[in-house]
Amino acid sequence: MEKELKYIDIVDQPISMHPKKFALWLFLVTVVMIFAALTSAYIVRQAEGNWLEYELPEIFWLTSALVIISSIAMQWAYYSAKKDNFLSLRIGMIFALLFGIAFLVGQWYSWVALVDRQVFFVGNPAGSFLYVFTGLHAVHLISGVIFLIIVLISTFRMEVHAKALDTLEMATTYWHFLGGLWLYLFLFLQMNH
């Protein structure tokens, strides 16, 4: 009887999208708005002058490559799950995670490189902004890593397969988004430097 009730509910609702996936997209909107605010603040502040000029750390090229590879691995894991190929699903996710963590380590070394160039968090906003961009992005990426670990564990419990893809799809979306967000920030910094 319980099932019947649910069935009727589903018939009644003109569902256009999985509610949780939709909620994830709305969450992504809020993250976009935070970074839109920060990057436009950067432009407004830069236009006022008194702006410290310095070279961006070269390691950003490497971390950008890492984040792209990580996204590709994640996509491969997703396709594998669609085909119920569990081994490559797990391998793909583990690779995505490892490259994600490597990215975080690389971002840390970008801070080391900044300090070497005498660009500190406390000082001219030109440098402070870079720390805020990378730091806030890293915080989001850590949340993505946690999300991925949770989904990875559920793949070992056989809770992710071709007919139960929702959480994996959400993790993939979030992971690609975070990668894309970094590429946007990097491109933005390249163009407004």
Partner 1 sequence: MATATVAHHETEVHDHHDHEHHDSFITKYIFSTDHKMIAKQFLITGIFWAIIGGLLSTLFRLQLGFPEMNLEFLRPLLGGWIDEAGKLDPTFYLALVTMHGTIMVFFVLTAGLSGTFSNFLIPLQIGARDMASGFMNMLSYWFFFLSSVIMFISLFIKTGPAGGGWVVYPPLSALEQAIPGSGLGMTLWLISMTFFIVSSLLGGINYITTVINLRTKGMSFSRLPLTIWAFFLTAVIGLLSFPVLFAAALLLVFDRSFGTSFYLADIYVAGEALPNTGGSPVLFQHLFWFLGHPEVYIVLLPALGITSEVIATNSRKPIFGYKAMVISLLGITVLSFIVWAHHMFVSGMNPFLGSIFMFLTLIIAVPSAVKVFNYLTTLWRGNLIFTPAMLFSIALVSFFISGGLTGIFLGNSAIDIQLHDTYFVVAHFHLVMGSASFFGMMAGIYHWFPKMFGRMMDAKLGYIHFWLTFVGVYLVFFPMHYIGIAGFPRRYYSWTNFEFSNTYTDLNMFVSVAAILTFAAQAIFLFNFFYSMYRGRKATPNPWNSNTLEWTTPIHPGHGNWPGEIPTVYRWPYDYSKPGAAQDFIPQTVPLSQTPESNLPHEQELVKVELEIMKDEAEVLVANESKH
Residue 94 is a binding residue for partner 1 (CB under 8 A): no
Strands (E), 61-148: none
What is the rounded CA–CA span in Å between residue 118 and residue 136?
21
Residue type present at position 166: D
Q: Which residues pair with 14 in a beta bridge?
A: none
Based on CB atoms, which residue is closest to partner 1, 20 or 83?
Answer: 20
Residues 59 and 106: beta-carbon distance below 8 Å: yes
Residue type present at position 102: A
Residues 99 and 67: beta-carbon distance below 8 Å: yes
Closest distance to partner 1 from the beta carbon of 138 (Å) = 14
- The single residue among 126, 138, 142, 189 that binds partner 1, judged by CB under 8 A, is 126
What is the rounded CA–CA span in Å between residue 89 and residue 155?
8
Return the ∠ at Cα 41 (arms to 40 and 43), rounded to 5°.
60
Radius of gyration (C-alpha) of the chain in whole angstroms: 20
- The single residue among 15, 87, 158, 191 that binds partner 1, judged by CB under 8 A, is 15
Closest distance to partner 1 from the beta carbon of 36 (Å) = 8
- The single residue among 88, 124, 167, 173 that binds partner 1, judged by CB under 8 A, is 124
- Listed in sequence order, the residues at least 6 apart from 153 whose beta carbon sits closer than 8 Å to its beta carbon are none
Residue 123 is a binding residue for partner 1 (CB under 8 A): yes
Site residue total, partner 1 (CB under 8 A): 45
- The single residue among 75, 85, 88, 128 that binds partner 1, judged by CB under 8 A, is 128
Closest distance to partner 1 from the beta carbon of 104 (Å) = 20
Based on CB atoms, which residue is closest to partner 1, 99 or 174?
Answer: 174
Residue 180 is a binding residue for partner 1 (CB under 8 A): no
Binding site for partner 1 (CB under 8 A): 1-2, 4-5, 7-9, 11-17, 19-20, 22-23, 26-27, 29-31, 33-34, 36-38, 41, 44-45, 48, 50-52, 121-126, 128-129, 132, 136
